[in-house]
Amino acid sequence: MNKKKIFNKLQEIVGKDYVSDDQEELFIYSMDPGASEPRSVDFVAMPESVEQVQNIVRLANEEKIPIIPMGGGLTLSGLVIPVNSGIVLDMKRMNKILEIDETNRYAKIEAGVSAGKLFSYLEKNYPNLEVSIPDAPPSVTIAGNTLIHGSGFLSQKYGNHGDMLNGLEVVLPNGEVCRMGSCAVSDHWFTRGPIPDFIGLFTSSFGTMGVATKLSIKLYPKPKMRDLVFGIYKEPELSTQLIWNVTQTELAEDILLGVQGKPDWMAGYVFIITYITGKNQDELDKKEKKLKRIYRKNGARYMKAPPRIREVFLEKPQFAAKAADFRKGGGFEYVGSFFPLSQAPEAIKRGIEISEKYGIIPTLGARVIDRAHNVMVFFSYSFNRADSEDMQNARNALHDTNVMSLELGGIPWKGELGAQQLILERMDPNYKYLLETIRNQLDPHGIMNPGNWEVK
């Protein structure tokens, strides 16, 4: 590989200020805040337009150099750290909100638009509409999040964020632009069907199928008021019936479960937070009353949420990192797995055991997705980044969690390389065949985030 030549070409494409091979700058892209080992990066390039992305993809094909599309880089599972070096394509300059279609309730945006930007733009300009964002730092991108089947405060009601994609524009691995969803046929980016739906090929494929450049995401009516109903219980087993009964009422906007070893008063309990919305206080009071009754009938104790807890949990996005047990050196790997509701309590119990086995203060929980058709159970393992043994400890906990998830019939979410291989080991051989065939067909030179979802 002629690095000098590639660098010069990248400069021609994006301009000299937006490409780098400086070791100091590449260092930042060689790792993420999770527990993955740093890996080497050749270049970082920041395109500003679809044409620039196309030219970079064409260059990568000519030079057989990998491309790793990156949004906020905050999945924590090493998904944007190159496996075989290459060009990290940092999408943050493509950050235009292109259209808010108020009547048809969608936002058409470039792939580098952050969750914080779209959320605050809507708050200011379209106070009747909102977008579901993850409880992640606001700098994460809507594209990065929807493309990993992320979830947020409207996911209980409307599904995971991958399901909220109405349309997608991608630069395919051959450099051609392809639009998917209604925008392949019409000027309105309002739906995925009724044509063969290929958007799914790009979700949770971790940048291996192409580079998303634009997308349309669903917007929803914004309620006037929002509150939460807090409860605690001892036995994780109670969760299944409790969640089933709460979702059966259709009262919940969002449902979160949590287990935290700290502060001390929370240790040994599972807490449930059901979010309710309404037009006025009276409506909220009625909903709260109903939910209190359900909590009690299902063995949970209703608690008036302490003001600090209300404040933290009503914030959008919640600063979820506050719940993590940051140790000196401040690292944490936050992973999750999708489970059927029936398996979620056992996953929580085993997650606590895994944390204890590795001497990590239990910090885990769950978000109910789409009326409990799916429960995303998350496990947070903190470590001291300056202590390599401690980091290995977190990785071992992570591995045990992935194995446990698959044993229980769940599927690790936004899985790091190890998790991807564990999933592939169990995957129906014909599904694997399909995956490999489509990928080889689309990307014969293997330039798109190679190493991820690698069928061996």
List of residues contacting ligand FAD (CB under 6 A):
68-76, 79-80, 91, 111, 134-137, 140-141, 143-145, 147-148, 150-152, 206-207, 211-212, 320-321, 334, 449
- What gap in Å lies between CA 198 and CA 249, rounded to an integer? 34
CB nearer to ligand FAD: pick between 67 and 251: 67
Q: Which tokens go with 250? A: 């259709």
- What gap in Å lies between CA 373 and CA 285, rounded to an integer? 27
- Nearest partner of 56 among 85, 89, 25, 15, judged by Cα: 89
Query: What burial class does residue 290 get, using C-beta atoms within 10 Å of its C-beta: 0-12 exposed, 13-18 middle, 19+ buried?
Result: middle
CB nearer to ligand FAD: pick between 298 and 382: 382
- What gap in Å lies between CA 269 and CA 309, rounded to an integer? 15
CB nearer to ligand FAD: pick between 69 and 412: 69
Give the CA distances from residue 36 to residues 4, 82, 334, 454, in Å, rounded to whole numbers and listed in that order: 29, 11, 12, 18
Cβ of residue 117: shortest distance to ligand FAD, in angstroms?
12
CB nearer to ligand FAD: pick between 182 and 203: 203
CB nearer to ligand FAD: pick between 44 and 148: 148
CB nearer to ligand FAD: pick between 169 and 288: 169
CB nearer to ligand FAD: pick between 212 and 217: 212
Cβ of residue 441: shortest distance to ligand FAD, in angstroms?
18
CB nearer to ligand FAD: pick between 130 and 135: 135
Q: Indicate the pairing of strand 43-45 with strand 87-90.
A: parallel
Cβ of residue 229: shortest distance to ligand FAD, in angstroms?
20
CB nearer to ligand FAD: pick between 116 and 236: 116
Cβ of residue 194: shortest distance to ligand FAD, in angstroms?
25
Q: Which amino acid is at 130?
A: E
CB nearer to ligand FAD: pick between 207 and 450: 207
Q: Tell me the chain's radius of gyration from C-alpha atoms.
A: 22
Cβ of residue 157: shortest distance to ligand FAD, in angstroms?
15
Cβ-proximal residue to ligand FAD, closest one: 144
CB nearer to ligand FAD: pick between 166 and 298: 166
Cβ of residue 119: shortest distance to ligand FAD, in angstroms?
12
Cβ of residue 142: shortest distance to ligand FAD, in angstroms?
8
Cβ of residue 319: shortest distance to ligand FAD, in angstroms?
7
Cβ of residue 341: shortest distance to ligand FAD, in angstroms?
19
Cβ of residue 56: shortest distance to ligand FAD, in angstroms?
12
Cβ of residue 151: shortest distance to ligand FAD, in angstroms?
5
